[in-house]
Structure 1
Amino acid sequence: MEIQRNISEFILLGLSDNKNVQIFCFTLFLLCFVALLVGNFLILISILCSPLFHQPMYYFLSQLSFLDIYYASSVMPKLIGDLLEGNKTISYGYCMFQAFTMHFFGSIEIFIITTMAFDCYVAICRPLHYMMIINRTKCNFLILAAWVGRFSHSFPQLSMTMHLPFCGVNEINHYFCDIFPLLKIACIDTYRTSVHVLVSSGVMTLVVFVILFLSYAIILLTLRNHSAEGRHKALSTCASHILVVVLFFGSAIFSYLRPFTAFPEDKVVALFYTIIAPMFNPLIYTLRNTEMKNAMRKVWSHILFSKETYS
């Protein structure tokens, strides 16, 4: 017999009950969200309005910026609003939507970061075959495969979560709806579902991380045969990618590849893959990237001066 849920909303316990901490977090996260939106929109528009859009690495970077905006927007506006108003309730439907979008956009982001690493590997290790291996048709196919594949990954998890019975306890010990915190308050034994989430999310993330680690190790070994100038440029690009990988994958592996117990550090670690990594991606990919900085300067100078001319 199917057990019916009898609650229509959840209560997110958030990061802290201390009013001063909440005010501090509200100010900090609001600034972080603004910086995230501004930084990623700058990159997205700069790439779309420049010749860099036709280069595979920057094409993938524009996709990453687009995903970062949607990925963070599924959590941060609600979190900021709760800190401001003190209202921590979230409807059942919005909770399910948040759990789905976090895994959907997060898993696509993992695929995009992996594809960017592959692009970096081909550019450095097989430069003569680069245009044959990486072209726009294959790039579009990879992006389409990412969206379709990640939907097929996330939808079963959403389906399992929506079929969980919640019989009264509706307090989620987190600042957003994630699958593991929801499993902890379900009325039935969720061991099998937990194992499924661990394998499909945790193990998948670990395997991708190992593949990325090996690919960068090969790249660093290959760089020994390059000129000093070539090594410097390649190392600058790889260092940016490695920093993104460490920030995003390290925190995601801690959260999803472990026994089904809650740790006090969970909420702090989750900040890294929900807020900090998407916010720092624009800086990481542009701070030491001369091509990106030049493109941004040209595009935005043209936009600003054009407005001044017409005004």
Structure 2
Amino acid sequence: MSATPERPDARRIAVLASRIGADEKRLFDAFERRGVPYEHLDPRRQWFPAERRELPWGLALNREIGQTRAAYAARCLAAAGVDVVNSVSATEVCGDKWLTTQALTAARVPTPRTALALTPQAALDALDSLGYPAVLKPLVGSWGRLVVQLPDRVAAEGVLEYAGALAGPQSHLAYVQELVDKPDRDIRVIVIGGQVAGAIYRTGEALRTNVALGGRTLPCEVTPEIEKLALEAAVAVGADIAGVDLIEDRDGRLLVLEVNHRVEFSGFQSVLGDRVSVADRILDHLLERSQR
């Protein structure tokens, strides 16, 4: 936080990011190319007093990769009167798979059958109910890390015994989900300001199709059903900017797998090229928000 507070300026935008990747560079380029004042803030160097204090930004784009820092930074900025995109609520909901699932099911958005078990033993009972094969996922995480496919109860017992021996209490909770029989691809849809910017297929031979893990990207037509589900999912979690992941079952039915509040769009951009600039679309939305 700046040692000397300045008067807030609704036109001045803070971009929170401790990791400057290709997407952040595209965003900074869009700001500079269009002459929009912004300030890059590294959340690892920020501190906030408990009392309310005016900050020099009217709006903040939260690109922080660490979920805990992202959530608390959003809370601190919002408490100081800064308009944060995505909101505190959306950041917290999207950052927790169980909260995301609850939001989607409450809004009647179709999603795979899922359960949360509060102990490893209860997880075995939940998996018996869901049926095998199934998937065990961490509550908080990205890039498909620590996602484990469970072909049967024997495999589940081994994985859950290991999880139960870990020190962190959150490791003892089990987010388990049916394994949907699907093609070797999923669909990433980017939603910005209530509009679908486009969609791509992410393909891979393994369970995970994340681009960060080597998944390949292909164009995907935005059908009315894809558009409808993506918009409904973004609304359900309260996200202005969202990466909505859809999967297709073998009957072609679409399900929402998860919603990301910090959208990575390099793979998306490489497919759509000059037809859509995600960075410019995000900046358009921020400028619209700043004028409200």
Instruction: Using structure 1 for the length normalisation, give the TM-score.
Output: 0.23
More strand per residue: 2
Q: Which has the larger radius of gyration?
A: 1
More helix per residue: 1
- Name which structure has the greater RCO, CA cutoff 8 Å, separation 6+: 1
Instruction: Using structure 2 for the length normalisation, give the TM-score.
Output: 0.24
